[in-house]
């Protein structure tokens, strides 16, 4: 059974939706719509009775919920009904004046525990750069990120990792390790901002490869026509 994100115009460019129990990455620059995309995926599932979990590794869950208040996603109601959960799992803890990094395996355990207890079927983790903050030895970075993703694939839920586009000229470990990679773009053209979406990889799916317009409406993001 395919998982419909319910994001207008998106599912039809990936043959109807996402393959369940896989891990996807949504990557893009600041303000390109990553959080909105993740929240819509969860809220649409939750509205149809599928439990969803949004894990904030850095920006507080409360701030994230407040920022989404503009949209008709019904997030507060879905939270009240225990269909939707927003939790903070900080990757760095502050004790007094010193900061302590938290191991990625501890972050994974907290998430896995919540997923199992609440029968979560849709999971969003925001942002992947924060997971890197939790890795002490830079030499272990790729291995730790890869292991984190392998562990996520063992969970009985469909996961979207939100990943900042730090260096557009190189791909990051999560972009290789995931089952599908979606790029969100925002760039200036003729004095105005153009937003776009592009599927770079979607294993097992004959996906659309065009750059398509992405717009914000009352429900959040929607995918429009091709960019000329």
Ligand X SMILES: Nc1ncnc2c1ncn2[C@@H]1O[C@H](COP(=O)(O)OP(=O)(O)OP(=O)(O)O)[C@@H](O)[C@H]1O
Size of the site for Mg ion (CB under 5 A): 2
Helix, strand, or coil here: 180?
A: strand
Considering CB distances under 5 to 8 angstroms, the limit depending on partner class, which of Mg ion, ligand X, none binds residue 70? ligand X
- Quick check: 155 and 19 in contact, CB under 8 A? no
Least Å distance, CB 90 to Mg ion, is 16
Interacting span for ligand X (CB under 6 A) from 28-36, 92-100, 116-124, 146-154: 28-36
Closest CA to 125 of 176, 88, 161: 161
| C-alpha–C-alpha distance, residues 137 and 145, integer Å | 12
31 contact, one of ligand X, Mg ion, none, CB 5-8 Å limit per kind: ligand X
Kindly state the tokens that stand for 17: 């939706």
Query: Cis peptide leading into 127, omega within 30 of 0?
Result: yes
Task: Print the binding letters for residues 53-82 with ligand X: x by CB under 6 A, - otherwise.
Answer: -----------------x------------
C-alpha to C-alpha distance for 123 and 46, rounded to whole angstroms:
11
Eight-state DSSP code of residue 13: G
Q: Mask 209-228, x = binds ligand X (CB under 6 A)?
A: -------x------------
The position carrying tokens 């996961």 is 159
Kindly tell me which residue out of 27, 35, 40, 205 binds Mg ion, with binding defined by CB under 5 A: 35
Q: Does 10 bind ligand X (CB under 6 A)?
A: no
- The CA distances from residue 154 to 2, 9, 23, 112, in Å, are 18, 29, 10, 9
Among residues 7 and 19, whose Cβ is nearest to ligand X? 7
| Separation between Cα atoms, residue 36 and residue 5, nearest integer Å | 12
In angstroms, give the least distance from the CB of 126 to Mg ion: 6
Among residues 5, 36, 173, 198, the one that binds ligand X under rule CB under 6 A: 36
How many residues in the shown chain lie near ligand X by CB under 6 A?
11
Find out whether 165 and 28 touch, Cβ atoms under 8 Å. yes
Q: Could you say whether residue 30 binds ligand X (CB under 6 A)?
A: yes
* 17 lines the binding site for ligand X (CB under 6 A): no
The pair phi, psi for residue 10, each rounded to 5°, is: -85, -50
Q: Using CB under 6 A, list all residues that contact ligand X.
A: 28, 30-36, 70, 164, 216
Interface residues with Mg ion (CB under 5 A) are 34-35
């Amino acid at each position: 059974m395919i998982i419909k994100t319910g994001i207008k115009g998106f599912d039809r460019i990936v043959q109807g939706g996402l393959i369940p129990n896989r891990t996807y990455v949504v990557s893009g620059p600041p303000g390109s719509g990553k959080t909105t995309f993740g929240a819509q995926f969860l809220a649409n599932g939750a509205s149809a009775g599928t439990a969803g979990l949004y894990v904030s590794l850095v920006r507080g869950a409360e701030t994230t919920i407040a920022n989404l208040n503009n949209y008709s996603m019904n997030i507060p109601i879905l939270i009240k009904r225990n269909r939707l959960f927003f939790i903070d799992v900080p990757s760095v803890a502050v004790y007094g004046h010193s900061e302590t990094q938290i191991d990625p395996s501890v972050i994974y355990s907290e998430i896995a525990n919540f997923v199992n207890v609440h029968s979560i079927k849709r999971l969003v983790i925001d942002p992947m750069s924060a997971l890197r903050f939790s890795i002490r030895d830079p030499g272990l970075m790729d291995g730790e990120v890869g292991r984190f993703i392998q562990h996520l694939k063992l969970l009985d839920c469909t996961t979207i990792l939100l990943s900042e586009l730090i260096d557009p000229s190189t791909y990051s470990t999560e972009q290789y390790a995931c089952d599908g990679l979606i790029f969100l773009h925002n760039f200036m053209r003729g004095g105005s901002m153009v937003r776009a979406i592009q599927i770079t990889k979607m294993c097992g799916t004959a996906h659309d490869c065009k750059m398509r317009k992405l717009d914000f409406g009352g429900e959040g993001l929607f995918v429009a026509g091709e960019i000329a």
